[in-house]
A and B are shown apart, each in its own frame.
Chain A
């Protein structure tokens, strides 16, 4: 069984590399993940007369003496132990995301952005009881439900704290589906939003200009309040907002460091480590199929919820808000905002809605962080 599992995972790894290189799946994650997956399942050797394994990583070792020994042998063990298993890598990715995010879009229309983002969190909420009914524990259910927030680092952070045994398959499912949202969400928009609504042009003249000083003030106040409310998720909040503040302060060496070295470096090692953790012994868990179903359900319900949020804003603004913008509340930044803009422009070339979509997108990051923090606080 394990041998067949290894062959399947090698083939899957090769497929991920191919699809990532082609652009069908997100290449930044899928290429290192695919290489890691193929290599770790092929590079099996006899570690002793009776045990087989690899010299990449041992994620299960907990004895400090054995860990010190493994740190000197398994080549990715230091990166796994010091950045992955403590959630640091998720925080580093979040710092990079903060450095490329413009919170001005949220500040120019805070209530509409947040209302859409709240509706787009439906997947993270509805999936939770469904997962419990399907046999998962509360902690496991919360970890897979957070996939609906479409935020990879948040899924990793939550599942590391709440469901350490399942964090590898949950995170793989999350990143796999996040790569696929670009392909699937346009169909959801076309199904739920008729052309006459999709073509609504939104007013950009009334958009206020937000200065860097205002963005920094907002970021530090919001960061402090959220850390006060949810200290267990304070590392993630701090990581995101420090990236934002560095960006708005204009300290160029720091901006370049965070948006290039930190973001791409941590994304690369995240993908590589996830791939290497997909060793047949670790990943072939009977719950994986269930996680695949629940993950896709969570993202689907979030997409539907986001569009419902778009309709709510349409009725609140008496027809001035384009409901298709609602999909951007699913916080796959900036993918879902671009998906909304592309679908709307197919119907009306003059309709420019990207500022509103980005506002919903960034608000989605904040609401997903809040929901993850609540789950961790209540269930840890």
Chain B
């Protein structure tokens, strides 16, 4: 890439590190959201099951 060739080595290293940090924290955020969503779904399912078993037929 021409942009990379025109950057100094320290600039290029810094850009690489910043992009890596952003993406890595983004991946961590996705994991947190995913785990949170799955736990929310589990709680909903458990609450629904509890309501259905508690209500008379």
Residues of B within 8 A of A374 (CB): 16, 19-20
Beta-carbon contact of A366 and B27 below 8 Å: yes
**How does the 8 Å CB contact mask read for A347-380 relative to B, with 1 for contact and 0 for none?**
0000000000000000100110011001101111
Beta-carbon contact of B13 and A370 below 8 Å: no
Beta-carbon contact of B9 and A114 below 8 Å: no
| A107 in contact (CB, < 8 A) | yes
CA distance A185 to B14 in the complex (A): 26
- Looking at the assembled complex, report how far the CB atom of B57 sits from the nearest CB atom of chain A, in whole angstroms: 31
Residues of B within 8 A of A379 (CB): 1, 4
- Looking at the assembled complex, report how far the CB atom of B34 sits from the nearest CB atom of chain A, in whole angstroms: 6
Number of chain A residues close to chain B: CB under 8 A? 39
**How does the 8 Å CB contact mask read for A107-118 relative to B, with 1 for contact and 0 for none?**
100110110011
**How does the 8 Å CB contact mask read for B30-47 relative to A, with 1 for contact and 0 for none?**
111011001000000000
Name the residue of chain A whose CB is nearest to the CB of B26. Answer: A225
Name the residue of chain B whose CB is nearest to the CB of A211. Answer: B38
Name the residue of chain B whose CB is nearest to the CB of A107. Answer: B31
Residues of A within 8 A of B14 (CB): 125
Beta-carbon contact of A141 and B31 below 8 Å: no
Beta-carbon contact of A222 and B25 below 8 Å: no
| A90 in contact (CB, < 8 A) | no
CA distance A366 to B24 in the complex (A): 8
- Looking at the assembled complex, report how far the CB atom of B38 sits from the nearest CB atom of chain A, in whole angstroms: 6
Residues of B within 8 A of A213 (CB): 38
Beta-carbon contact of B12 and A138 below 8 Å: yes
- Looking at the assembled complex, report how far the CB atom of B35 sits from the nearest CB atom of chain A, in whole angstroms: 6
Name the residue of chain A whose CB is nearest to the CB of B25. Answer: A114
- Looking at the assembled complex, report how far the CB atom of B41 sits from the nearest CB atom of chain A, in whole angstroms: 11
Residues of A within 8 A of B23 (CB): 226, 229, 370
What 7 additional pairs, Cβ within 8 angstroms, besides A141-B9, A377-B1?
A: A106-B31, A110-B29, A129-B8, A218-B31, A221-B34, A378-B16, A379-B4
Q: Give A residues with C-beta under 8 Å from B.
A: 106-107, 110-111, 113-114, 117-118, 121, 125-126, 128-129, 132-133, 138, 141, 208, 210, 213-214, 217-218, 221-222, 225-226, 229, 363, 366-367, 370-371, 374-375, 377-380
